Structure 1
């Protein structure tokens, strides 16, 4: 897992640990207590003031803390796996503290502006009875680059979780985005009757298409998508499919822009006009055939682009080849087609957070930007959910394991994603998983490769493309392994592997090092630290000959800590960095 280096004092570590434990204890003691009613006017006024202060940038202390937020993990729960219509309605007055109200659903309207912070957003919400309560989204709070709570005003909360914030304030907390159903603000004022004349249906469907086109021109992608979808519902009632194909084609383009690649490919293929010409069209006189070929080529291009972004490269190649067969003069597809066969990872943003995991009492720095990106990507593309959730993670999903969707849409367990990222992600550009800075990614195929301190392969990066390269001959049927951590210090390497990936390495090298006398390992570790200090200053040394002599002396001293017979055929990780420096320095002389 990639992370930025964050230094915490022992006092800061203890403060985070104590705060999380005390909050968990307090919530546990309040479990089952009836909700206490809030004063609506004061609560809304408080939220409005907080939102205004956040907008004005005057919450400097809170913003500083939010720049590297501290998050508690370790009390995971599954997302709701039922549709809204399967859940019984409830009111705010029915809530009880520290309770997941299973089998229930709550309808609310936003009653105040949204307070938007780095790792969470919150607002005040009211139900039909006029009761008011805080509604909070943790981490996964945006959709289509817009804050979910700010995008609409009416919501249904599935199986509401009523708890306390870290500051001790009662709140409806939503961790799983699929537990919040966003209801549209407006609908057709006059829905068409089922027996409406085809002319009226076509007129209304065309109006939706035009509205979608206008929204697309303005860059309002959600509105464009909604308009095309409304138009398609009507166009399906028409005796001819031409308008429906136009709407599918347009919506495919919008889905690509929204990174909804599953839907984009489906729309593009649904827009295909049957019986395209068998031969490439070049006769300008055959306008109808040329137009058909152009439209179908556009569909295949959009389908190919979608498949490529989903990592289904064989399908992408087939779609691009169909495009070229229809429009050989379109060279734009050639570049896409020739890139088939690459593998890409799900990259993440730069946001990191300090996390305290109650389950193992460990504090880590987690790439929550990557977690957020994976949740959003899989929610937009349900075909990826099974691939991601098939990776190893400490949290197996509980009762919701294996359920990927309901009638309301895809279901993604964010706690499982957190654990999967913790055990499978790497920093791009880093061989040890720790040096990638803010750039982290989850490469699904590569995640199935196990670790060994005696690897037969290594990873390299070209942008966000991970390449697994053999560094020795690998026999048929032999497992491909690479190193997650290349530290020369046995204790440091084992600690890193346990903290980040959750296992103790028992490879041949670790078995040999574990069997060394403690004094030998301590001496080796001390020499490695000396070598690291030397390498920090070696670049500024004016006497390269003297520096090389010193490096060789250190290298020889480290080599003496290895028993020749015991370590025959095994790498000596403690000497690696010095050896690499010596090789480069000797070549420059």
Structure 2
């Protein structure tokens, strides 16, 4: 990662964050079991209205539909407390409850709460909240959706008029305010859709989109909303219709197999949609079959022919690992950093590792500098995208450890697996500290159940930073991604592989000859500073490295390691100020002296055949300057 995608906190700053989070956790424990008490409903609604209005004014100050510019010295911070499981109960099995039944710091298992929104939605970077009314008009409560606040690009609370909260969790939010907190998207169900921003002012519960329509009725309602330019409402109708259709029948069951011209067109359209869906999921074999069937019905379909040509290219990539990298590079601006490519993984296999958990192993001999594997990101968020944001998390499970966490990537991964349940299992198979619901996907009431705490830990331990991609990217909006196959590659400071990126296509190459059956490993952190590297490996990935290089470096005295680091910093400063091309004898001799001084801190016998990271920069400078 580039230097300005990293945040450094002083001990005092770290202490303040940790104290704030621990105090909040204690406050929650102290209030556990306290009964719900009534609010001044008017005051609470006014609070939400004022906050929403201030937010609108702030956005307007930076242009219509815009958002406030990021501060130059702030980052969102929140605590990671004790994880809890999402509800896995069916709605029909849950017993209705009232707001007055709520108890503080309690997960009300076996219960369901029916609520109506009675305030505008306050949208913040990491959460959204609004005021909700229970069965009685004077009974209101704050409901806050944390982090996973949207559906199909629209704020969930703004899409809804009436909601059902499965097994509600009543707690204190990060500001110490009482709230019904939603961490798992499947725990909050919209029972009545309505995207009218003023719908919350109405007293009746009869308006909006009710559930339990047929797919055809949802489609007609969606068409009407689209005609009226109520786009969020139209999307909600279509999405709900597709959800019901998925429950009732497979998408290809819409085929009529009728020879009539009109029906033949419908069948061809069904095959085309199935083909494009399979292609986007990289299921090229099925996609090829669907497009071939479409061509049988419509022999002149240029779109189907184009897709079949693309599939032929993808199949060559998958089998031979041969890519047109120049074409991929040229396409990056058009594809938003996501080139059209297939995965090449046949030279590798996943199995248990003697290092840790599962690892990636060579299935055949691989020569030096050959491609080991290529993989498209399962999910990537680029720094220039609105979804990109990092947060400072304080994890009380790990002695209040403070980390910079890719919260935007976490959101994107949860969104993707919610929309594509068939993809959940391969994500859940990755290593994470929290077992959550286990490795098998779960679905209730036609909705995928995703444990966001489990996904958080998987992202924390497996995400890759992509380095600075643009001038306005820093630690608050760093580009990050999740690659499934590459996540099985374990760490070693003296690994046998290196990674390159072409957009979100990760290319793993061998840095030496690798024999069949040998584990593939690469360095997660390439810094030469032993102490900084050990800290980073533990904080980010949760382990201490014990490779041969780390063992040897640990034997050096702290004073020697400090001296080596200071010499390396001197070399870096020299490299920054002195261009190697055309360098004179004085500059070359200065570089050689720096190299020699660093070499003197590296015991020749103990460091034999080990990488000498502190020398990399000055060695490259000397090579470029034409010196051996």
Normalised by the length of structure 2, the TM-score is 0.76
- For 1:339, the equivalent position in structure 2 comes to 314
- Secondary structure of the corresponding residue to residue 107 of structure 1: strand
- What is the CA distance between 1:232 and its match in structure 2? 11
Q: Paired residue for 1:177?
A: 185
RMSD over aligned CA atoms reads: 3.6
1:313 to partner: Cα distance: 3.8
Distance 1:224 1:162 in 2: 31
Judged with a 3 Å threshold, the aligned counterparts in structure 2 of structure 1 residues 579 and 49 are, in CA distance, closer, same or farther, namely same
| Number of the residue aligned with 2:484 | 444
Equivalent residue runs for 1:355-504 within 5 Å: 355-360=393-398, 361-397=400-436, 402=440, 404-428=442-466, 438-504=478-544
State the distance in 2 between where 1:382 and 1:223 align. 23
**Could you report, residue by residue, the CA deviation over 1:451-488 in whole angstroms, capped at 9, with x for unpaired residues?**
11111111111111111122221111111111111111
Counterpart secondary structure, 1:576: helix
SS in 2 for 1:363: strand
Summarize deviations over 1:15-52 as a string: whole Å, max 9, x none: 21111111111111110111111121221122112211
> What SS does the aligned partner of 1:355 have?
strand
Determine the structure 2 residue equivalent to 1:220: 231
- 1:59-74 alignment runs, 5 A limit: 68-74=75-81
Verify: 1:310 aligned to 2:281, yes or no.
yes
State the Cα distance separating 1:147 from its structure 2 match: 0.8
| 2:174 match | 166
Structure (1 or 2) with the greater helix fraction: 1
CA distance in 2: counterparts of 1:80 and 1:564, whole angstroms: 60
Query: By how many angstroms is 1:219 displaced?
Result: 8.2
Change in Cα spacing, 1:140 to 1:225, as seen in structure 2 (3 Å) is closer
Cα 1:530–1:188, aligned 2, differ >3 Å: closer, same or farther? Answer: closer
Return the alpha-carbon distance in structure 2 between the equivalents of residues 156 and 491 of structure 1: 50
Match of 1:156 in 2: 164
Q: Distance in 1 between the 2:225 and 2:497 partners?
A: 50
- Structure 1: which 5+ residue stretches go unaligned? 193-203, 234-247, 249-261, 277-287
Q: Would you say the 8 A contact 1:40–1:132 is kept in 2?
A: yes
**1:140 aligns to what SS in structure 2?**
coil
**Alignment correspondent of 1:258:** none
Deviates more, 1:291-300 or 1:42-51: 291-300
Deviates most, 40-49 or 477-486: 40-49
Deviation, structure 1 residue 99: 1.0
Runs (4 or more) in structure 1 with deviation over 6 Å come to: 58-67, 187-192, 204-207, 434-437
In 2, the alpha carbon distance for the partners of 1:385 and 1:190 equals: 26
CA distance in structure 2 between the partners assigned to 1:232 and 1:385 by the alignment: 17
**Structure 1 stretch 291-300 or stretch 150-159: which is displaced more?**
291-300
**How many angstroms does 1:84 deviate by?**
1.5
- Say if 2:7 and 2:475, in contact at 8 Å, map to a contact too: no
CA apart distance, 1:418: 1.1
Q: 1:417 to 1:109 in 2, by over 3 A?
A: same
Which consecutive unaligned segments of at least 5 residues does structure 2 have? 62-66, 194-206, 319-341, 343-374, 382-386
Q: How many residues are treated as equivalent by the alignment?
A: 533
1:456/1:470 contact within 8 Å kept: yes
- C-alpha spacing 1:137/1:63, structure 2 compared with 1 (3 Å): farther
1:217-296 correspondence runs (5 A): 220=231, 223=234, 226=237, 267=251, 269-274=252-257, 295-296=266-267
Which residue pairs with 2:389 in the alignment?
351
How many Å separate the matches in 1 of 2:53 and 2:392?
27
Residues 447/30 of structure 1: CA separation in 2 closer, same or farther (3 Å cut) = same
Question: Quick check: 16-25 or 551-560, which moved more?
Answer: 551-560
- SS across alignment from 1:33: coil
Q: Secondary structure at the match of 2:532?
A: helix
